[in-house]
Amino acid sequence: MKLSEVCCKNCGGLLDFDTVSHIKNSRVVCPHCHSIYIYEAKHSDIGAQLELDTERMRLKEKQEHNKELWESEKSKKKKNNKNIFIVLLILFNIILIAALYMVTNYVINHRPGQTEISISEKALTEKKVESKKESPGWDASTNSEKALTEKKVESKKELSGWDASTKTFTNKDGVLKIDKAEKSTNFDGKPALKVYFTLTNKRKEAQVAQSLFQEMARVQQKQENTSNDLMYAMMPFNETGSPQEENHLNNNINPNGTVSGFYPYVLENETDPIQILFQKDYQTVDKYEITLK
């Protein structure tokens, strides 16, 4: 580092020195007039200026050294942070892989329909299978169970459908018994038919009698060329405005409950026979014919 320019006080010439190391024996000699100067501050102004420059050089060198140390520490810290981030990233990946492995094993071992069997139960099952293989032939218990099952199925079949002897139709929804059918007149004097019934609800929820009847049976009048469904008939009322006879069609039938009533129909004529078509899932499965008298 170059020191401040210093001029000779005798001739005004520039004293030729760049660093303190050029000064020997604490003396500075002017190259022009050969005047001698003592560079120590206590002996001359030039010495004081030289000492000031020297101190300035030391401070600057110290600052540069501190700057280098700070940059070195900063670089080292940045490198350490990077290493810590890499380590944390590796740990996170390890934890994630372990979690995925555990979840996969759990799903495989507990998938729907899979039942865990202990070793003892498994051995017992295998023993039973081997025992069955070793003893072929007639199995009375199996045969009896099969016969009982077939009997139950036949019994159910017998309970489903139309029974002419009791005039009862049965399906999965209910039991409909036709008590009788008789001619009558509606509120305006036209011929009508009243079909008296006893209806049992086999569903798990309460059902309106009229709706359940309509799902189980349809009533038609069979004519020469057509067979049309009969329409609902409005029956006569008393002077008080109430029906002369309660039909109970609006009753709610509880599960396994039974209601008796009648369903009124408008007749197309008073001679052609009546057919009651019994239904299962809205498909006609049987019929009952009534002759009008």
CB 188 within 8 A of CB 233: no
Q: Which of 195, 192, 173, 174 is nearest to 183 (CA)?
A: 192
| CATH code, 219 | 2.60.40.1240
Token pair belonging to 267: 């007749």
* Distance between first and last Cα of the chain: 142
Domain that holds residue 248: 159-290
> How large is the average pLDDT for residues 48-67?
76
C-alpha Rg value of the chain to the nearest Å: 59
Is the four-CA dihedral 235, 238, 241, 243 of positive or negative sign?
Answer: negative
Element (H, E) at 74: helix 45-109
pTM value?
Answer: 0.48
Q: How far is 239 from 257, CA to CA, in rounded Å?
A: 33
Better pLDDT: 204 or 155: 204
Q: How far is 218 from 214, CA to CA, in rounded Å?
A: 6
Is residue 80, in this structure, part of any structural domain at all?
A: no
Please identify which residue in the block is written with the tokens 């094993």. 105
3-state DSSP assignment of residue 184: strand
pLDDT band at 22 (very low <50, low <70, confident <90, very high): very low
Is residue 81, in this structure, part of any structural domain at all?
A: no
For 68-124, write each residue's pLDDT tens digit: 888 888 888 888 888 899 999 999 999 999 999 998 888 887 766 555 545 566 667
Number of domains within the chain: 1
Is the four-CA dihedral 163, 217, 254, 260 of positive or negative sign?
Answer: negative
3-state DSSP assignment of residue 290: strand
Task: Report which DSSP code applies to 243.
Answer: B
pLDDT band at 50 (very low <50, low <70, confident <90, very high): low
Q: How far is 245 from 236, CA to CA, in rounded Å?
A: 9
Percent of the chain scoring above 90 in pLDDT: 41
